[in-house]
Structure formats: C-alpha cells, structure tokens
Structure 1
Amino acid sequence: MKNIFVAVDFSEASRKAMDYAAALAQSFKTNMTLVHAYYVPVPVGDVPGYIPLSFEEVQQENEAMLQREIEYVTGKFNIPVDGYVRNGFVATVIKDLAAELGAGLLVMGMKVAGKSSSIFGSSVVSAIRKTTIPLLVIPEEASFSFIKQISFAADFKQHPAAGSLAVLEELAAHFDADVQVLHVQKNEAFMTAGEAAGKVGADVSFNRMKHRFYTMVDEDVEKGITDFISTHPTDLLVMVAHHHSIFERLFGTEHTRLIAYRTHVPLLVLHDR
C-alpha cells in the first residue's frame, strides 16, 4: 500500500484516526503523512480590542501542534511519519497534496453521535465528493484490530469500474480476510434482471478474494446494512461512491447516521471514477 494520508484537526476523533492509520501503516510497512489544513478568513472590519494573528504566526502555531502529533506517532509506532500544514479548505488541500506526493489511502476521524450535525462532518463529505482517493473513516469509538471480516455493501445496479476495488483487494489479501458481499433488496420475491446481472458481474470482480454473497430484504437500504452488521461480525464496512447512485446520495444524510454512528465500524469509501 502506498503512502497513507491522515487528515488531522487535533480533536479526539482525529487522534483516534491517527492511531488506527499508524497501526495500519505499521502492518503494511508503509509511510504515513499527517496533513492539517486551516483556513484564515479575511477580516470584514475592525473589532475593538482584537489584534489578529499574522499569517506567519498562525502557520507557525499550527506547525508546532502538528509536530507534537508527529512525535506522538513516532513515539508509539515504529513507522516513518512526515507532516504538512497548509492554508486552505481540507478537501482542496488533501486533493492537491495527494496529487503532489502520491496517496494510496486517506484516513479521517469521525466524532461520536451528538457532536456533529452531519454523518461525518462537512470536511469528510467534501473529501468524498472532491477527491478520488479511497477514504477510510474511523469512528471515535473504533480501535484497530486485524481485519478478518469485511462487509461490502453492493449495489448490483452499478458495476464498479476496473481498479476501483484495488485497495479492498489489497486489504483482504494482506489480512487474509473474508469478504461478505451484501445486497439489500426491497422485494423478497425476486431480484430485478439488472440486479441479477450485477451479481454475476460482482462474482467476477471478487474472484481474487474469499467472498460469500448475502441478501437482506428491507425497504430501507441503510437499515438493511445496519441490521446485517449487527448479526454478522464486521471489522470493516465498504461502500463504493458510484456517481449518481444511492450510496453517493447517502453520504451526508441523516439516515446514514444509522450506519456510521450505531455500528461504530470503520467505513471504507471507494470511488468508481
């Protein structure tokens, strides 16, 4: 696996994601890069008694905080770590740095329920929509363990493009994991012709991984996924963000909190582009 990028904002959720990513990097014997993006707004007018920090002072302050995170990781894990601090929006900074340095995986933390008004927060949603890097979202309650059971939420109406499952295949091979391919259908009686064809295509896509197919019947796709995870041990949930698909619409919605907040399972988002 290539360089693992970790988006850092110095929160508890960020530290948890950093720990998980570092353990993953250590297992793969790969590099880890910490990235912190901050945004300095342009002041609208003078505020009595307020003396804003200069850009240089803000940059230095953020660099000092990131250096402490680097020292924390290197002190706990035996892996090479570097870091970058950039002024700008998180998704834009990550996209630019990933292209410049080469990122195989982006890791971001997610606050626990009640601390965020959206499923992941605006930064994670932006990263999903603006970058094509595989994104691993770590809930604040999650801790690293060897990945033995992977649940893949399949949309048989959308067949992933060649290469979009590469990171999943790499993780499954590295940990010798079983992949549970889950399809949630609304009608108990039958699949549509398109879904049946999609299942055949999926079987080909997963032929290099140990996998089994499962079907859940539920009018609510999100609930079907959540119910499956509650009854089938899962160390990692995987979805593909197909363009204009149901899963792309899920990200950032209130309903998806069922998946992220209630399962507490790390979520790997792959891009089909």
Structure 2
Amino acid sequence: MKKILLPTDFSKASERAIHYALAMFNDTACEFTLLNTYTTNTQPEIAMYVLDDLKINAENLMEKFLKGLKQFDNESFHTFKTEYMPVSAASAIEILNQTHQYDLVVLGASGAGNNLFFGSVATDVVRNVSANTLVIPANAVISPLKNVVMAVDYNQVSDLKVFDNLKDLLARKDAQLTLLTVLKDNQSADELDGLAKYEYHNYFNDVKVNDYYIKNSDVEKGIKEFLDIHRADLLVMVSRHHSFLDVIFNRSVTRKFAYHPSVPLLSIYDEVAAPFINEAEIVTF
C-alpha cells in the first residue's frame, strides 16, 4: 500500500492537487493523509487559546472537505486519515515524513501569483523535506498519464532505486519516459557518462524509454524550450540538497520550477549531497 501525504490549506490549488493525486492512484491501494497546519503570531500567554480555536476551525473545515473528497473518490482500496499541526507546513511535512516515510507528498501551486503562500510552501518542501514531492499547478488538467519527461545530467545518484516509485507509475500507466538532457552549446552527447546512461536504460528496461538532447547554455530555458514543443504530462527532476550557497541564491533548477510549474512536477529526493561549488557554476538539477 502506498502512503501519500496531502497537505491542504483548503484552497482551490490544494483541492486540485488532491484530486490529481486521487486520479493518479486510481488503480492503487493507498493510505492518504490529509494535513492542515496553522500558526499564530499572538503573544505567548494567549497563543494557546488562539491555537485551540484555530484547530477547532481546521477540524470543521476538514470535515466538510473530506466529505466532498469521498464523493469524488469512492475507491474501496483508498483510505483517509487526518493530521493537524500548529507549525509551518514544511516543518509539519518533514516531522510526519520522518515517522511515516511517505511514498509521495502532493502539493498545489497556483503559478499565477494568487496563492503565494502555498507556492512558497511547495518550494520550501522541495528544498528541505526528504521525500518525493509532486507539485500540481492549479490549472492542471486531470488526464491519462502518457508522456513523462525526466531531466537528467547522468551525475551520480545514491542508488537508482530512488526511481522505484516512478518506474512503478510508468508501468501502471503504460507511459512513455523521455530522458531529457540539456547540453551546453559546445557540448556533445558523446561526452556524457556512457556507463551512467547504460545504467539508466537498464534500470528502466521494463518501460518505454527514449533519449532527447537539446542545446542551451541555460538548463532551465532548455527544459522550458522542450516543454513548449512537446507534450508532457509530468516533468521529473532529481532534487539534491545542495550547498549553503545554492540555498541562498536559489539556483537549483528544480526549486525554480517549484515556484511556477507549467506542468506537474515530480521532484525525486536523493540523499547524495552535491559537492561544494561556486555559486556561479551551479547548473545541476
């Protein structure tokens, strides 16, 4: 059984993300955990009373939300539970994930600036939470998953098993996987690590895989260029916990896409720490 964490602030963006997740796992036994978080900036001596009121309000909203959700999803192999935590969303997600080890965290992102709070939560989670994270645009169309694109640079990952859930998804949906590599203007595909490329193909040998190369000195622009001319139902990237400078300057391509995804973005968590490098040189996924 898959364990899926569904944070919600009861907005349209988070509701859309949850509906998307339910559709994605409509053929899989899942335990879905709905999480709502709340905080207060009031004085400590009255904060306890305010937090009690906030929790009661959250429980009332969740009851209505869950009732509507069960009308949308009546699969007998889907179960639902709820969690409420008086901390930031990213902190709550990490705390729960340390205990439950979720297969996936699903977040909504407006991408249009009308829900900046939840958009920032998506980015915080991609940056700080040790879990695979799926970020869904508020206008995402729920449709069959057929074309999945994964941005790869063939750098080391801790273990190709980090892609186990992705491979399972591809097999269940009979989807095509495109391994997209953005090359520098003066770079040839022949310069890539041939062994790493072979290992990727060998790992995904049970699904349909093809390679695609695009030249652009800017990785982010290269990925967007591909998305502009090819249909993609899901974009996949590996999100490594980078150096302190990377966090400061927010140069990770994965984290940029988490702010304003044009298609659903699956960020794969990998424990391998990137080496400390100069901020100006950071181009990794």
TM-score (normalizing by structure 2)? 0.82
Residue correspondences, number: 263
Cα pair distance change 1:98/1:44, threshold 3 Å: closer
Tell me which amino acid in the other structure corresponds to 1:91. Answer: A
* 1:234-253 superposed matches below 5 A: 234-244=232-242, 249-253=252-256
Please give the secondary structure, in 2, of the residue aligned with 1:207. Answer: coil
Residues 93-131 of structure 1 show CA distances to partners (whole Å, capped at 9, x for unaligned) of 11222333442111000013233569x732112212222
Q: Unaligned 5+ residue runs, structure 1? A: none
Report the alpha carbon displacement of residue 20 of structure 1 after superposing the two structures with TM: 0.8
* 1:171-250 superposed matches below 5 A: 171-188=169-186, 190-191=188-189, 193-244=191-242, 249-250=252-253
Cα pair distance change 1:30/1:168, threshold 3 Å: same
Tell me which amino acid in the other structure corresponds to 2:69. Answer: V
TM-score (normalizing by structure 1)? 0.85
Aligned partner of 1:271 in structure 2 is 269
Aligned partner of 1:19 in structure 2 is 19
Residues 16-50 of structure 1 show CA distances to partners (whole Å, capped at 9, x for unaligned) of 1111112223332322111111112242899xxxx
Residues 36-94 of structure 1 show CA distances to partners (whole Å, capped at 9, x for unaligned) of 11112242899xxxx99532211111111111111111111113222111111112211
Aligned partner of 2:160 in structure 1 is 162
Aligned partner of 2:147 in structure 1 is 149
Aligned partner of 1:60 in structure 2 is 56
Aligned partner of 1:85 in structure 2 is 84
Tell me which amino acid in the other structure corresponds to 2:53. Answer: E
Q: Is the 8 A contact 1:67 1:83 kept in 2?
A: no
Cα pair distance change 1:117/1:185, threshold 3 Å: farther
Q: Is the 8 A contact 2:112 2:260 kept in 1?
A: no
| CA–CA distance in structure 2, aligned partners of residues 3 and 52 of structure 1 | 31
Between 95-104 and 150-159, the greater mean CA deviation after superposition:
95-104
Aligned partner of 1:38 in structure 2 is 38
Q: Is the 8 A contact 1:242 1:248 kept in 2?
A: no
Please give the secondary structure, in 2, of the residue aligned with 1:143. Answer: coil
Q: Unaligned 5+ residue runs, structure 2? A: 272-285
* 1:106-125 superposed matches below 5 A: 106-115=105-114, 121-125=119-123
Report the alpha carbon displacement of residue 232 of structure 1 after superposing the two structures with TM: 1.9
Cα pair distance change 1:231/1:66, threshold 3 Å: same
Q: Is the 8 A contact 1:70 1:83 kept in 2?
A: no
Q: Is the 8 A contact 1:3 1:31 kept in 2?
A: yes
Q: Is the 8 A contact 2:2 2:28 kept in 1?
A: no
Identical aligned residues as a percent: 28
CA RMSD in angstroms, aligned pairs only: 2.8
Q: Does 1:95 align with 2:94?
A: yes
Between 17-26 and 196-205, the greater mean CA deviation after superposition:
196-205
Task: Give the counterpart of 1:74 among 64, 70, 74.
Answer: 70
